[in-house]
Structure 1
Amino acid sequence: MENKSETLRLFQSTPSKETTEVEEDASETQTSIGTWPPTVGSDMEFIVNCAFDGSSLGNKSFQYLWRNTIKWQFEFYKNSHNVGLRIHCNRRNKSRLWKCHVSIHRQILCPTPFRPPVDYKNYTFDADHPTEEFPNIASTLVLSEFAFHVIVKSVSGIPLKPTIDFSKPMENVLDACLLIEGKKVYVGKSHLAMFSPFFRSLFFSEFLERSLEEIPITGEDVKHEEFIQFLSFLYPFNASIDSSNVDFLLKYSDRFDVPFLMEKCEKWLISREEEEDKAHLMLLAERFHLSTLQNHCLMSLKTSDEIQKLSKSKDYVELSDSSKTALFNRMLEIMNEMSNTEAREREKDEESTYSEDSEPQRLKSSVWRARWLGVGNGGISDFSDEEEEEEENDEVIVVD
């Protein structure tokens, strides 16, 4: 079984022994070392390599990691001239309905390589006993490095995320083998065919590839690790789209014809529109024919300055003439909207200059407007200064 490992490096001072539960929660966010999927099989397995200088270690230090839905906490503490370790499993869960059975093997790597026989000890974590303690794992006087090999044998009362190892066949489940960058990737024919017309044709049409035991997926743009992530969205892994994978997920969704994932990526990009470079979003919309995303980008541009800023982006030069025309038309719309708004404001200002009891003045203004618009003579009239003076001298008769 393949192992996953992570190194915890503790060279900085850490919270004192009097750290409260609230402070530990805050530390949890700051010192989290990340998450990764567990290895496949009935067991979950991982190796934690710990390296630190005991002299700089504070009274207490927490390191956190997640395995599937189980939260592990590694608490290092000073004990005279030695360093101790407490391993906490799911300790915030006070329910008495969960249990986690594990085997743990410890190996010292530095300063003196000590390789005892592979001897795993079994432990059971639950609400009554969520912690196992190893009081003297290293000295505070020297640089120390050691490894803990943890195998989760069984779990009850904690719902685990489903996991699949695409590197191994699974009878009646993973029944087709793809070759990507020379590496075997096992997939389910019927499952992929349900989401992708491309795979439906590949596996169930009369193509030559249908009869091959190993079907090569060619192209420099298809990477093994990216393809595995792509598959995780086609299986119920609750995988999440983020800025690190959205570009290649769009690429694979387009190449392998997976409409639902394409739509999911488009919605994620729209939700992040305020934080992403609009020129890059316009480029993605153009490449993958995402009309909703392009329309959202265009309508989110409210000023000509925003469009000018977009035009200075490095991705703008890669846009097609069609997309640039759409941006130009949007700028014209913005300018027309501004012009209409200014005209309405001027009209309101003019109307506000006339008082309610100045009816003769309003009538005079109406006459002037009618002449300017050419009412009665079929065209726009030009007024000379003399005509304006004569009009001002005209007596306006008000009929009660």
Structure 2
Amino acid sequence: HRISADPIRRRSMSSPPAKRARDGSYVPPVEDNCIRFVVQRPKEVTFAGMRSPEKMIAGFPWTLSACHRIDPEQGKCFGVFLRCEMAKSSAIWFCNTTFELRIVNQTNPARDVKREMSYRFSCTSSGGYGTPNWVEFSKVMDPAEGYFKDEVLVVEARITVESDHGSAFRSRFNIDFDNPSEISDMILKIEEKQVYVSKQFLAAQSSYFRSLFFRDFKESRESIITLEDVKWEAFTALLKVLYRTAQLSDMNVESIISLADRFDIKTIVDEVELFLMSNEKVAPEKKLRIADEYRLMTLKGSAVDHYDVLHKIDYLVQSVEFPLLSKELTDVLFKKYVKLTKELAAKKNGTA
């Protein structure tokens, strides 16, 4: 493929304006230099902690960890650590970084808990850097405080890399699938357009393409193969995510999971599941339907747990996604609705 380097831009920590969700709650924006971790079931956070999916910022892969520590004076505390996962791809590297850790207040942005820090992440430093005994656990878990809402906590880090070493390992590339190159050896014809790909690369990622290219099929002996019922734009978007030149987004995630499932690209299916579990822009009812349709069991469990009060299930039933759910899942939701109704009636009668 034709490849051209795309210089990595350093990002500042400035933020676009905050937005409000339909229910009036605060929805903080996610900038390119911000990694957000939606901590599911924070009551289960352990000393070892829970870790977010990776996000590339300024050419480095980052994760956030949420954990608890016992402070002699404050007792059980909630902590957050930022980690640079560069060791997976480079033996010699460092980055001097300024970052702002934040516990998001989901009802009032003015009450976000913030701390700005500087640290030199490198191949000689182990673990992450952050705030082990930051806030009393009881405070962040108190719904009245606004941090714990809908069974989740939200933590963020806004990252600026001031200087670094090891950029040769992190160059971003633009790949041109419209033209042949020395490493393309197959043409896929999609919507009358030609897409130049590597058979070896696609076969390594997909059992579908492995069979198509290397089994004893008529197509395996051809230099041009037509893919039917595929949109060119969606397929090239899938290739860019597969080649790590683009990221999943709330705009492309559904078309990509559809193709990844069809062509049996398990790495992308797993990435989509992690992305949806930590993404707030995708509506809960849409997450539930995608998890149900594509058998994403971890996401499905998390999505079902979201419906823990009657009005959420009522909203789901009125949504366009509900008729698309499987009977098995609607039965689970119906039983949950009945249980919640009985619990509410018992509370009203003073017998709970």
TM-score (norm: length of structure 1): 0.44
TM-score (norm: length of structure 2): 0.50
Q: Choose between structure 1 and 2: higher strand proportion.
A: 2
Q: Which has the higher contact order (CA 8 A, sep 6+)?
A: 2
